[in-house]
Amino acid sequence: MRYKQVIDSSALLSGLRVAVTGGTSGLGLALVRRLHAAGARVAFVARDADRVRRVAAGHGGIYGIVGDVANKDDIHPIALQIAGELGGLDVLVNNASDLGPVPLALLGDTECEDLERALATNVLGPFRLTKTLLGALASSAREGRGAIVLNISSDAAVNAYPRWGAYGASKAALAHMSRIWDAELAAEGIRFLAADPGDMDTPMHAAAVPDADPASLKRPETAADELIGLICETLAERMRTAPSSPAAVRQGGAA
Amino acid sequence: MKAADLPQQRPAHAKLLILDADGAIAHAPRAAFANLLRAGDLVVANDASTLPASLHGTHVTSGAPIEVRLAGRRSLAAEDVRRFAAVIFGAGDFRTRTEERPLPPALLPGDRLALGPLSAIVEETLGHPRLAALRFDGNAKTVWAGLARHGKPIQYAHVREPLRLWDVWTPIAGAPAAFEPPSAGFAIDWSVLREIRARGAEFATLTHAAGISSTGDAALDRRLPFDEPYRIPPATAAAVERARARGGRVIAIGTTVVRALEHAASSRGRVRAGAGLATQRIGPETRLRVVDAILSGTHEAGTSHYELLRAFTDDAALERVSAALEADGYRTHEFGDSMFIERRGGQRDETRWWSRSFFDWARSSQHRLMSA
């Protein structure tokens, strides 16, 4: 939060090319709407064609893409549309997640297929989509535009909560992979972040903890704003290290 | 040369023939490419990802099956995806060599084409029964979604398995712009990028709409390469400037990079950043202003890629290269082995640029000759 006071987020977000997976509900939907409102060009991915159409309807600058990140054959068509419609990519948010068994189950009671699905959505999907879009992100970094991959993690990736085994183990793998990506691609200028948005009032949380009091939960819009703040901080930090970048020029060297 | 028939971008046994500035030939494993670099060099690659540019469908007027291969576009703008120049085949698929593919039904302006979820209209024919300007119905969103769902990468009869997009996207592939893969870039993965830096060299990219490499039709192939839009980022133009200032070599990964950089070059070797449309042919008469060396596939005499290599070195050297490639069992085409060719010291002084725009073709049906 060091740079918070000096970051002009509208200058950073205006025209930023962002892709969000799982963009038709919960945190993903809030991210799509908030980023778009802040001037970003946002492509989002979700499985249900009708819901994709509804979210994208009437918004120039929001690009809805139908696909399932857990499905290997969908990855390149998704990446083609993201990089095609946005003309490249500055920020990828791997947000689409699968809880594993619903209702939640002890690991010993978890069906292998439920764990496989959680791993496919929460680990393999983000890995494949990130790998496929790495070229676009590296190009963005070379042009001084951005290049951030934000992986949505969870406190279940760190703490051993009973009944959260499939989800927690998959999110732990995603978070650790983020750190390795970050170490390997720092020289290319691509930053990887794993962030825990907290317990939110979303359809996923309702499926996991049906009797939770919504009033005790964070609104997804609040979490989205915090994550957008994190993106802005990271962009601002990058500008400090690459002062000739277009974003730095727009920002007038504020940081 | 033998065609490489497996869609493997970086086979462990890939070979590299090196022709240096003095005309000497050497051989190396291609994985050792970065060893050829010197501190201060700049490596420039094409970061275009490859469009699923092959669309099977029907010529609605006649009901005949066709295959449309998108082959040209006027700009790289994300919204500018409704109008393409296309090479069109009749019935059949890639398992038949393009040389033996039937012509499409006679195409007339206004004819409709049904291509899976996409539909298009023939705007005009472009001086050859296989070549037409098409306009897709709908908006850019419709076209991107339709291409993603129905399009396949352009296939090759010499590759056994049908190619998927992941077979043809280079590791550094970004914005989708190429009609066929900028396949010299198959050699550059994330590990090679590290090695480039470790040797004190720089790496930069441009985006160039690499076009169709051959159509199987001699008359059409003589018109290759078609016009190709490109974009050079300011950071890349600046990197070229820096490399020249410090006496480093500018090394192009592939013919498309040569075409874009030389098209954007001033007579003093400065590269203009921004969007452009490469219309020139590069051949023995071309004086290269920017590029000092090229990493490329192995090309056979008579192709437009081979002609481009003649701008780098003399015919006698290229004949020795061809003999060495043959003698050492190098493999050719997209997934084949590679060559690294350094420009012979500046003996060329004549400059002649040919421009053969197929968008102009329909209007003039003649070659335009421009002097730069």
Q: What is the pLDDT of residue B302?
A: 86
Listed range (A102-106, A145-149, B54-58) with the worst mean pLDDT: A145-149
Q: What is the pLDDT of residue A146?
A: 82
Q: Is A164 on the interface with B (CB under 8 A)?
A: no
Rounded to a whole number of angstroms, the distance from the CA of A84 to the nearest CA of chain B is 6
Total domains, chain B: 2
Nearest residue on chain B to A83, alpha-carbon basis:
B175
B257 lies in some domain: yes
The mean pLDDT value for A38-56 works out to: 97
Residue A243's pLDDT band, with cuts at 50, 70 and 90, is: very low
Q: What is the pLDDT along chain B (372 residues), one digit of tens a residue?
A: 889 999 999 999 999 999 999 999 999 999 999 999 999 999 999 999 999 999 999 999 999 999 999 999 999 999 999 999 999 999 999 989 999 999 999 999 999 999 999 999 999 999 999 999 999 999 999 999 999 999 999 999 999 889 999 999 999 999 999 999 999 999 999 999 999 999 999 999 999 999 998 899 999 999 999 999 999 999 999 999 999 999 999 999 999 999 999 999 998 889 999 999 999 999 999 999 999 999 999 998 988 899 999 999 999 999 999 999 999 999 999 999 999 999 997 433 333 333 333 444 334 433 333 332
Q: Three-class SS of residue A159?
A: coil
B350 lies in some domain: yes
Chain B interface residues (partner A, CB cutoff 8 A)? 47, 49, 51-52, 76-78, 81, 140-141, 144-145, 147-149, 164-166, 169-176, 190, 193-194, 197, 204-205, 207, 233-236
- CB spacing of B174 vs A135 below 8 angstroms: yes
Residue A7's pLDDT band, with cuts at 50, 70 and 90, is: low
Shortest CA distance to B335 belongs to which of B174, B152, B185? B185
A234 lies in some domain: no
A3 lies in some domain: no
B155 lies in some domain: no
Residue B68's CATH number = 2.40.10.240
Q: pLDDT tens digit string along A217-229?
A: 999 999 999 999 9
Rounded to a whole number of angstroms, the distance from the CA of B113 to the nearest CA of chain A is 22
Rounded to a whole number of angstroms, the distance from the CA of A228 to the nearest CA of chain B is 24
B224 lies in some domain: yes
Neighbours of B262 (CB within 10 A): 24
Sequence-ordered list of residues with C-beta below 8 angstroms from that of A50, at least 6 positions apart, any chain? none
Residue B33's CATH number = 3.40.1780.10
Asked if residue B174 and residue B36 are part of one domain, the reply reads yes
B297 lies in some domain: yes
Q: What is the pLDDT of residue A6?
A: 54
Whether the CA torsion B1, B3, B9, B12 is positive or negative: it is negative
Asked if residue B212 and residue B325 are part of one domain, the reply reads yes
Residue A9's pLDDT band, with cuts at 50, 70 and 90, is: confident
Share of chain A above pLDDT 90, in %: 86
Asked if residue B345 and residue B298 are part of one domain, the reply reads yes
Nearest CB neighbour to B174, from listed A65, A85, A136: A136
- CB spacing of A81 vs B164 below 8 angstroms: no
- CB spacing of A143 vs B197 below 8 angstroms: no
Asked if residue B316 and residue B230 are part of one domain, the reply reads yes
- CB spacing of A139 vs B144 below 8 angstroms: no
Asked if residue B171 and residue B262 are part of one domain, the reply reads yes
Asked if residue B137 and residue B219 are part of one domain, the reply reads no
Neighbours of A60 (CB within 10 A): 8
A5 lies in some domain: no
Q: Is A138 on the interface with B (CB under 8 A)?
A: yes
Asked if residue B119 and residue B246 are part of one domain, the reply reads no
Nearest residue on chain A to B188, alpha-carbon basis:
A135
Dihedral in degrees, nearest 10, Cα atoms B18, B20, B24, B30: -10
What residues in A contact B139, CB-CB < 8 Å? none
Residue A1 has pLDDT above 70, yes or no: no
Q: pLDDT tens digit string along B129-142?
A: 999 999 999 999 99
Asked if residue B129 and residue B6 are part of one domain, the reply reads no
Rounded to a whole number of angstroms, the distance from the CA of B177 to the nearest CA of chain A is 8
Residue A253 has pLDDT above 50, yes or no: no
Asked if residue B343 and residue B245 are part of one domain, the reply reads yes
How far apart CA B150 and CA B148 sit, in angstroms, is 6
Nearest residue on chain A to B206, alpha-carbon basis:
A139
The continuous run of DSSP H or E covering A248 comes out as: helix A246-251
A250 lies in some domain: no
- CB spacing of A87 vs B76 below 8 angstroms: yes
Nearest residue on chain A to B140, alpha-carbon basis:
A85
- CB spacing of B141 vs A63 below 8 angstroms: yes
Q: Are B59 and B221 in contact (CB under 8 A)?
A: no
- CB spacing of B172 vs A138 below 8 angstroms: yes
B159 lies in some domain: no
Asked if residue B310 and residue B237 are part of one domain, the reply reads yes
Q: How far is CA A1 from CA A7, A13, A192, A208, A232, in A?
A: 10, 17, 18, 31, 10
Residue A247 has pLDDT above 50, yes or no: no
A240 lies in some domain: no
Q: What is the pLDDT of residue B126?
A: 95
A241 lies in some domain: no
Nearest CB neighbour to A83, from listed B174, B193, B197: B174
Residue A161 among the catalytic residues: no
Asked if residue B357 and residue B247 are part of one domain, the reply reads yes
Shortest CA distance to B85 belongs to which of B131, B22, B154? B131
Instruction: Please report the number of interchain residue pairs, chain A to chain B, with beta-carbon separation below 8 angstroms.
Output: 92
Residue B193 lies in domain = 2-50+165-370
Asked if residue B286 and residue B355 are part of one domain, the reply reads yes
What residues in A contact B49, CB-CB < 8 Å? 79-80, 83, 135-136
A27 lies in some domain: yes
Q: From the candidates A62, A78, A142, which should be mutated to test the interface with B, based on the most B CB atoms within 10 A? A: A142
Total domains, chain A: 1
Q: What is the pLDDT of residue A242?
A: 62
B299 lies in some domain: yes
Sequence-ordered list of residues with C-beta below 8 angstroms from that of B167, at least 6 positions apart, any chain? B7, B9, B153
Residue A34's CATH number = 3.40.50.720
Nearest residue on chain A to B193, alpha-carbon basis:
A188
A245 lies in some domain: no
Residue A76 lies in domain = 10-227
Q: Which residues of B17-29 are buried (b: 16+ CB within 10 A; e: fewer)?
A: bbbbeeeebeeee
B156 lies in some domain: no
What residues in B contact A140, CB-CB < 8 Å? 174
- CB spacing of B147 vs A76 below 8 angstroms: no
